[in-house]
Structure 1
Amino acid sequence: MSCRTMNVRCYFLLMMTLNHALQCNDIFVNETARSVETTRVLNKVRHVFRSSGKQFIVHQRIRPNPNEASLTTAEIIAGRGYPVEIHSVTTSDGYILELHRIPYGKGQKMASTASRRPIFLQHGILTTDNVWLINQNGLGFVLADAGYDVWMGNARGNTYSRRHVKLDPSKEEYWNFSFDEMGNYDIPAVINFVLAKTGSQKMSYIGHSMGCTMFFICMSLHPELNEKIDVMIALAPAVSMAESTAPLAVYQAPFAEQIKFVFDLIGVRAYEPVDTFWNNLRKQHCGPNLFLRYSLCRNTIFSSSDDEYHAFDLNILPIIDGHNPAGTSVKTAVHYAQNYMTGQTFQRYDFGHRENLLRYGQTTPPTYDLSKVTCNVFIFWGQRDKVSAPKDIAWLANKLGNLKASIMIEDPLWNHLSFLFSSDAKRLVYDKLIPLLPLPTS
């Protein structure tokens, strides 16, 4: 390894460690305890948004409402004129997850919800379910208007799912999880909860990035749940990471264990929560200016994927900042780093030889058996995606037990976050995935 390469990597290690050391005391700033009630319907609070819900027309396009940067997911939904419910789901290992539901579309009648087919959306790493809503034609709204009963999940450890029946999120023990636990515990809990609430026998599932990781783990470890999924749509699935060229993989993954050691030493528990000194500074001063956005003000979710703002309405960037990054565990980032360093594989968390033997009965972590994913799966992928690289998508397609199609987005510049934030997402992705779903009413 050249001295220059070593210096670059050491620089990234040092800057990342110092950044998180500065953020450590800010992790739980502005965290308020949420009610433990299972459901809250927010239709009655729409009047709060009379002033903030205005639509501003610019060049025949609806300008995003900048006030949404400081609103919760439920407030964004209500402010757009949709019904919304908040549900709490407790996993078998005690984590309390918050789900948000749009039971029907704008102007539709509540009485028709009993026959509507439920569809569940799961976000990726470092985000929350608001990524399905930030665009004016966000997938959550598009599906609700198409007649579906839309449920949106939040992974353990993010802004909305930071509670536990016993563990304190300010303590290290709470953060002892990776995406392995998310797939093993979170997804089974939400599938069973949604089906019980709706009385439906099956549901559809759409995941982005880690939302796909979680799903494939769930179906590998709990194959009986395949029977409860009629269709799974995988947007930019993050499984094998061997061909990734994203900075988070290339520059940080080789030092993942050392970074985790330093974080443990200085007491960093959460990885990239939203309320940190740097994120708050960026929210206050950056705006949509492109020069700043490609230099000092780049949001972590973009810098880690090295995505361009291709076909974006730049006015949504401050709104994205208001909610993301939303935090996860350091162990989750390390788990992705392990998969990158191991090559084309999809394996469980590597605890080291001794603990692997105790946990798995072997010195190396076992791989997830993707052939056990027997529900109908459709993959959508982008040619410019540096996180879920095309060669890794091809590897995944060959491993799945029941792949129906692997669909390349027509735009050659389509990247990892284009699925969520591009102004062309509805035309190039959402309008094409809806015909693959069961009819919205039974």
Structure 2
Amino acid sequence: MNVLFVILAACVVAHSYETKWFFMDEANNIQNFFKNQSDNMKTFFEEQKSRMEKAINNGYEEAVKMKDSVNTYFDTQQKKIASDVNNYVERVKESGRKVADTWSFVPSDDLASRMENPDVVLSVPGIITRNGYTCETHMVMSEGYLLNIHRIPHSKDGVVSPKTVLLQHGIFASSADWILNGPGKGLAYVLSDAGYDVWMSNMRGNQFSREHAWLKSNSKAYWNFSWHDAALYDLPAVIDHIMKVKGEGTKITYIGHSMGTTILFAMLTLRPEYNNILAAGFALAPVVFFTDLKSPIKSLAPLASNVAYMEMLYGSHEFIPKKSALGKISNGCDVENIDAFVCKNIVFYICGYNEKQLNEKLLPVFLSNLGTGTSWKTVVHFAQEVVSGGKFQQFDYGSHNQKMYGSDSPPEYDLSKVTLPLTLFWANNDLLSSETDVKLLSEKLPTKPEIYLVPDPEFNHLDYLWAVDVNTYLNDKILDSLNKVYTKPTVIGFPFKFSFGV
């Protein structure tokens, strides 16, 4: 066993010695191998570096050559483009000079480019401003309707006057009524020249008071109004706005034409406190009673009422004259192709014949502002007045009166509540406002008004707005009456509360 162990031990030692030398040789071989590989790799990278540097250098040279080539190309193209553009501009300039000589930049008096009558297309503020006056536009909200008020605060060279006048137009009309006769004759201009602060309101639904805060203008709800609503809500809102702008105690005289008078008398009964707020009222062609209506439209009243009800129920809720029976009759009065003979005779037929006081040049202006928007209900309300048998009453809802008023008939406006100092203007040839009905109105009022007969036997319903001699027949009287209003003490509210002067 020992011998065997010795032999084995000797073998192991011998083997270990041999293994050591074997690994030493292998280590040397590996070291040499990696050294050789390192040298080879170093040589390889040196070669690659050399090649890369050469490639980069050659590439840079090529890039420089390309850059020079590109720069040369763009320089050439830029010069060519610049040359082409300059040549083009010169050609345009040359041809432009020829064209410009005929129209563009040379001032000229080309009469063909001028409007024959600017007032046909301009708005009320535009017309007023064009004529050298100051115009303001105020907006008042009444039951959601946004009402525009046009104001001429002073004469051309003056300051705002405490003497204030409010003008209210008639049916199918607007604030344009008061300026269509032009400076020197249009009542708004005449009053301004005389030193008054002039306000011109517009009824809900017309072209200047078309907007509403929440209702669509093509809806039944929007057009569900008559002059009753203007009297109950709109006119008080306008007066309150003027008072707010000018201060409490401001003396305001109201001047209304046709439906503008209807609104005044209805307001003074529905809102009697305004008898003490206003200083005076002038009613031009009062329209309150229709017992002696001479205009041919009297025969259309029952029919108009029925047709209007149909329109209100099934059709358009807006009354537009050019689509109504009246509009169809007046088709020949289209502003673009006006037939003066036809137009003036339609006006005379409805309002009264007066050739002498008609300025035919105003017809296009009048027509461009006619039919600016109102409701079928307004027309119905007037038709009801015609067939009421001499009553001045609220809207007749027929079978719905019990629900609306608690009675079978609509209530009448109580004219005994009207205490405002008034002047009633009437004319013999006014087919819409007769002597009989003006006198009936006067008899119904507790305080007798002054009554003024226009001293022209042919003066008609529209001559108040456009008569050639309107100053002689009307405006001078208005100025005289206004002067009396603003030069005497006025009671405001209850007795012992006075305001003197202007």
TM-score for both structures, normalised by structure 2: 0.69
Output the CA distance in 1 between the equivalents of 2:280 and 2:273: 15
Q: Which residue of 2 aligns with 1:101?
A: 151
Q: Answer yes or no: is 1:347 the counterpart of 2:393.
A: yes
Measure how far apart 1:272 and its partner are: 2.1
Q: Which residue of 2 aligns with 1:124?
A: 170
Q: Tell me the secondary structure at the aligned position of residue 156 of structure 1.
A: coil
Q: Which residue of 2 aligns with 1:428?
A: 473
Q: Which residue of 2 aligns with 1:160?
A: 208
Q: Which has the higher contact order (CA 8 A, sep 6+)?
A: 1
Aligned partner of 2:351 among 305, 310, 334: 305
Measure how far apart 1:266 and its partner are: 4.7
Measure how far apart 1:322 and its partner are: 1.2
Q: Which residue of 2 aligns with 1:364?
A: 409
Question: Equivalent pairs: percent with the same residue?
Answer: 35
Q: Deviations over 1:245-294 (max 9, x none)?
A: 222222x211233202332355222112679897697110015x32x325
Output the CA distance in 1 between the equivalents of 2:355 and 2:363: 9
Q: Which residue of 2 aligns with 1:80?
A: 131
Q: Which residue of 2 aligns with 1:215?
A: 264
What are the equivalent positions in structure 2 for 1:60-71 lying under 5 Å apart?
Answer: 66-71=117-122
Measure how far apart 1:344 and its partner are: 1.5
Q: Deviations over 1:358-412 (max 9, x none)?
A: 2212110111011211110000100011111111111001112323311111101
Which residue identity does 2:351 align to in structure 1?
A: S
CA gap 1:212/1:281 in 2 versus in 1, 3 angstroms: closer
Which residue identity does 1:416 align to in structure 2?
A: H
Q: Which residue of 2 aligns with 1:59?
A: none
Measure how far apart 1:329 and its partner are: 0.5
Q: Report if aligned partners of 1:122, 1:129 keep a CA contact under 8 Å in 2.
A: yes
Which residue identity does 1:338 align to in structure 2?
A: Q
Measure how far apart 1:172 and its partner are: 1.6
Of 400-409 and 147-156, the range deviating more from structure 2: 400-409
Q: Deviations over 1:148-200 (max 9, x none)?
A: 00000111111111111111111121111111111111111111111111115
Q: Structure 1 runs of 4+ off > 4 angstroms? A: 273-281, 306-310
Q: Answer yes or no: is 1:204 the counterpart of 2:272.
A: no
Q: Tell me the secondary structure at the aligned position of residue 342 of structure 1.
A: coil
Measure how far apart 1:327 and its partner are: 2.1
Output the CA distance in 1 between the equivalents of 2:321 and 2:199: 23
Q: Answer yes or no: is 1:393 the counterpart of 2:442.
A: no
Measure how far apart 1:427 and its partner are: 1.1
Aligned partner of 1:282 among 334, 339, 344: 334
**Bigger CA radius of gyration:** 2
Which residue identity does 1:199 align to in structure 2?
A: G
Output the CA distance in 2 between the equivalents of 1:121 and 1:86: 14
Q: Which residue of 1 aligns with 2:235?
A: 187
Q: Report if aligned partners of 2:172, 2:371 keep a CA contact under 8 Å in 1.
A: yes
Aligned partner of 1:257 among 299, 305, 311: 305
Q: Which residue of 1 aligns with 2:27?
A: none
CA gap 1:309/1:71 in 2 versus in 1, 3 angstroms: farther
Q: Deviations over 1:190-213 (max 9, x none)?
A: 111111111151311000000010
Aligned partner of 1:377 among 405, 417, 422: 422
Q: Which residue of 2 aligns with 1:415?
A: 460
Q: Tell me the secondary structure at the aligned position of residue 365 of structure 1.
A: coil
Measure how far apart 1:305 and its partner are: 3.3
Output the CA distance in 2 between the equivalents of 1:342 and 1:100: 35
Q: Report if aligned partners of 2:354, 2:459 keep a CA contact under 8 Å in 1.
A: no
Output the CA distance in 2 between the equivalents of 1:348 and 1:87: 30
Which residue identity does 1:159 align to in structure 2?
A: Q
Q: Report if aligned partners of 1:378, 1:403 keep a CA contact under 8 Å in 2.
A: no
Q: Which residue of 2 aligns with 1:242?
A: 291
Q: Report if aligned partners of 2:188, 2:198 keep a CA contact under 8 Å in 1.
A: yes
Output the CA distance in 2 between the equivalents of 1:262 and 1:361: 25
- Which runs of 5 or more residues in structure 1 are unaligned? 1-50, 53-63
Q: Tell me the secondary structure at the aligned position of residue 222 of structure 2.
A: helix
CA gap 1:408/1:262 in 2 versus in 1, 3 angstroms: same
Which residue identity does 2:268 align to in structure 1?
A: M
Q: Which residue of 2 aligns with 1:325?
A: 371
Q: Which residue of 2 aligns with 1:30?
A: none
Aligned partner of 2:273 among 188, 211, 224: 224
Output the CA distance in 2 between the equivalents of 1:333 and 1:401: 29
Which residue identity does 1:183 align to in structure 2?
A: A
Q: Report if aligned partners of 1:116, 1:149 keep a CA contact under 8 Å in 2.
A: yes
CA gap 1:426/1:65 in 2 versus in 1, 3 angstroms: farther
Which structure has greater helix proportion?
2
CA gap 1:143/1:279 in 2 versus in 1, 3 angstroms: farther
Matched positions, count: 369
Q: Report if aligned partners of 2:169, 2:259 keep a CA contact under 8 Å in 1.
A: yes
Which residue identity does 2:155 align to in structure 1?
A: G
Q: Report if aligned partners of 1:273, 1:328 keep a CA contact under 8 Å in 2.
A: no
CA gap 1:187/1:255 in 2 versus in 1, 3 angstroms: same
Output the CA distance in 1 between the equivalents of 2:262 and 2:171: 10
Which residue identity does 1:227 align to in structure 2?
A: N
Output the CA distance in 2 between the equivalents of 1:345 and 1:225: 23
Output the CA distance in 2 between the equivalents of 1:146 and 1:274: 37
Output the CA distance in 2 between the equivalents of 1:418 and 1:171: 35
- Which runs of 5 or more residues in structure 2 are unaligned? 1-108, 488-500
Measure how far apart 1:434 and its partner are: 1.3
Q: Report if aligned partners of 1:123, 1:129 keep a CA contact under 8 Å in 2.
A: yes
Q: Which residue of 2 aligns with 1:272?
A: 320
Q: Tell me the secondary structure at the aligned position of residue 334 of structure 2.
A: helix
